[in-house]
Chain A
Amino acid sequence: MENVNETGNTEKPDLKKILLENIENLEEKKSSMYFFVMDTKGNATAGMANIYKHVKTLIELGYNAKILHEKTEFTSVESWLGKEYSELPHVSIEEQQLKVKADDFVFIPEIFANVMEQTSKLPCKRIVISQAYDYALEMLMPGKKWSDYGITECITTTEKQSEHLKDLMSGNLQTHVIPVSIPKYFKPYEKPKKPIIAINTRDQRDTVKIFKTFYLKYPHLKWVTFRDMRGMSMKNFAQNLSECCVSVWVDDVSGFGTFPIESMKCNIPVLGKVPNMVPEWMEDKNGLWTHDFNSIPDILANYIQAWLEDSSPEELYEKMGEMNNKYNDEQQKEKILEVYQKVVDNRVNEFKSQLETLQPVNN
């Protein structure tokens, strides 16, 4: 690489100076951290909410974090995440002024293998954020792995996903785990719970199948309402969830299981189909777990009957209570600081190694 100076003479760039500047930027938290997100068009997703949470926390910790989106036009998250998140710094790839430097970072969700490929020539450090392991292969070309695009670090939400991704991507993938945190406004309803079933399924057809079967098989319970939890703002979601007497969760490819934890924080028992990757928090007795999708309406009817008789199993509530001290903002904040500082330190070390190669060797 050569630069042209004011007099028109070409000169070698001062690599040492550049490397020292990069190190300084990183150490002084001046480097940009871009978090690539898709435009969900105002639809709430737990994964997107978690990325915004990372950005907000990093800014609070003094880092220069920003949301990065593709098009200039981007649907604000204000309607479902609130102003405190929609007002975080946003930049778009389309904007001319976006320049990425070697000491910057771009964090890319696992699904966007195409972005990993397109950005492989950028000088910055690129890191995958993987919250839904099942999407990791979605856009990846057959036979390709992330390291083929120069990506060797990944942040994920559970140890199990971490192991899975290491196994899948092989080679030298370095993983960091930052568990999801559940906001404090997921808390028990202040009044007695209502005969409403909160339902959250990855495939909406599963929601329809469950409630139609339930009403067909148990017509005497047709007055019990199912509340589909899609399309609500986060706080509204939490409020609506907290009123319910039970929640139903079906998500075979869940990587973490945010919805059941949110339910438990609201002191609501969860009836869930065990996902392909069993969540780390899942225990025999902290929910009503089944491997059989077709049994959900029956288990639900039994639970509702017990709830109407005020004879829900106490052990279930005790076990759920153990979740109160887990997955909170404070713990996540600590982990965010630890992991992102490690990511920065790794990058500093990379520059320092390069710096060492420039030093004259004394014999």
Chain B
Amino acid sequence: MDNTTVILPIHRLNEKEKDYFANAIKSVSIQKTETTPKILIVVANEELKKEVESFEFDEKLKFKVLVNDGESDFCSQINFGVKNIDTKWFSILEVDDEYSAIWFKQVEEYIKHYKDVEVFLPLVLDVSPEGNFLHFTNEPVWAPEFSDKMGFLDNDSLLNYPNFQTSGAVYNKETFLSVGGFKSGIKLHFTYEFLLRMTYYDKTIMTIPKLGYKKTNMREDSLFYGYYNEGSEKIRIDEAKWWFNQAKKECYFKQDRGITYEEEITQ
């Protein structure tokens, strides 16, 4: 998989996250491909870079660590990473997630047979922080009559069913850049907006029906846990809905228009 880079964005590493991080990197090294993908770790500052570099990785891994001096949100980190890779394909690995050992072997096979596909989504195994199975994600495209073409995601079906996961997916770099990449201005549902935009611009997205990625859901100290639970970060339901609806409107624009949430006045 010399033609693929795994982008792993990090904006902090607490003790628990260090374990997750080691696990995530290990999941790249155990791939059943002849060569492992390259790894690009995008960090928020120099300190973090030193910390990451102090880890002992499998010798066969080819990785580099880059500091993103700009915004350190997830979307900005990924956009920065994509601009700094030299491979045709890339994949996003979140620090608390992991690939299954078969994922990139499957991707190799599917790239060979489906030459028009620009994004390969994995069948995601969603687990609790304790590692218990919760559900699959990205699988509905294989359900009968979910979309126009079995296995493929299209704009209409995405408008009716938004629950798709982009981490773990393998993207064509040029395609990603051509539609404008992720929009850091969109606080919630940015991956949904991105997929809507991709399908709106007729980019071909397919789910590989193999377990490719294990996602830990609602880890207590994760950003999204903060969004959905009591605390300073909590996002109200009407704001979440607003972002959701906004994703459907923003997907027509390739550029990030920097929209902000305006609370509606209700009586």
* Nearest CB in chain A to that of B106: its residue: A310
Q: Find out whether the CB atom of B135 lies under 8 angstroms from the CB atom of A220.
A: yes
Q: Find out whether the CB atom of B102 lies under 8 angstroms from the CB atom of A309.
A: yes
Question: How far is A268 from B93 in the complex, measured between Cα atoms in Å?
Answer: 33
Closest CB in chain A relative to B122 CB, distance in Å = 11
- On chain B, the residues within 8 Å of A310 by CB distance are 102, 105-106, 210
* Nearest CB in chain A to that of B143: its residue: A223
In the assembled complex, B211 has its CB within 8 A of some CB on chain A: yes
Instruction: Give the A interface residue count (CB, 8 A).
Output: 13
Q: Find out whether the CB atom of A308 lies under 8 angstroms from the CB atom of B210.
A: yes
- On chain B, the residues within 8 Å of A308 by CB distance are 123, 209-211
Q: Which of A17-49 contact B (CB under 8 A)?
A: none
Given the known interface contacts A308-B123, A308-B210, A309-B100, the answer about A192 and B113 at a Cβ–Cβ threshold of 8 Å is yes
One of A190, A195, A222 near B209 (C-beta < 8 A):
A195
One of B102, B142, B211 near A223 (C-beta < 8 A):
B142
One of A194, A222, A309 near B151 (C-beta < 8 A):
A194
* Nearest CB in chain A to that of B145: its residue: A225
Instruction: Give the B interface residue count (CB, 8 A).
Output: 24
Given the known interface contacts A192-B110, A220-B135, the answer about A225 and B144 at a Cβ–Cβ threshold of 8 Å is yes
- On chain A, the residues within 8 Å of B140 by CB distance are 223
Closest CB in chain B relative to A253 CB, distance in Å = 31
One of A220, A225, A309 near B136 (C-beta < 8 A):
A220
Question: How far is A191 from B113 in the complex, measured between Cα atoms in Å?
Answer: 6
In the assembled complex, A168 has its CB within 8 A of some CB on chain B: no
- On chain B, the residues within 8 Å of A195 by CB distance are 142, 209
* Nearest CB in chain B to that of A243: its residue: B150
Question: How far is A190 from B113 in the complex, measured between Cα atoms in Å?
Answer: 8
In the assembled complex, A224 has its CB within 8 A of some CB on chain B: yes
In the assembled complex, B139 has its CB within 8 A of some CB on chain A: yes
Q: Find out whether the CB atom of A222 lies under 8 angstroms from the CB atom of B211.
A: no
In the assembled complex, B109 has its CB within 8 A of some CB on chain A: yes
Binding site for A on B (CB under 8 A): 100, 102, 105-106, 109-110, 113-114, 123, 133, 135-136, 139-140, 142-144, 146, 150-151, 208-211
30 contacts between A and B (CB under 8 A): A190-B113, A192-B110, A192-B113, A192-B208, A194-B142, A194-B151, A194-B209, A195-B209, A220-B133, A220-B135, A220-B136, A222-B143, A223-B136, A223-B140, A223-B142, A223-B146, A224-B142, A225-B143, A225-B150, A308-B123, A308-B209, A308-B210, A308-B211, A309-B100, A309-B102, A309-B210, A309-B211, A310-B102, A310-B105, A310-B106
Binding site for B on A (CB under 8 A): 190-192, 194-195, 220, 222-225, 308-310
Given contacts A191-B114, A223-B139, A309-B210, 4 further A-B contacts (CB under 8 A): A194-B142, A222-B143, A223-B143, A308-B210
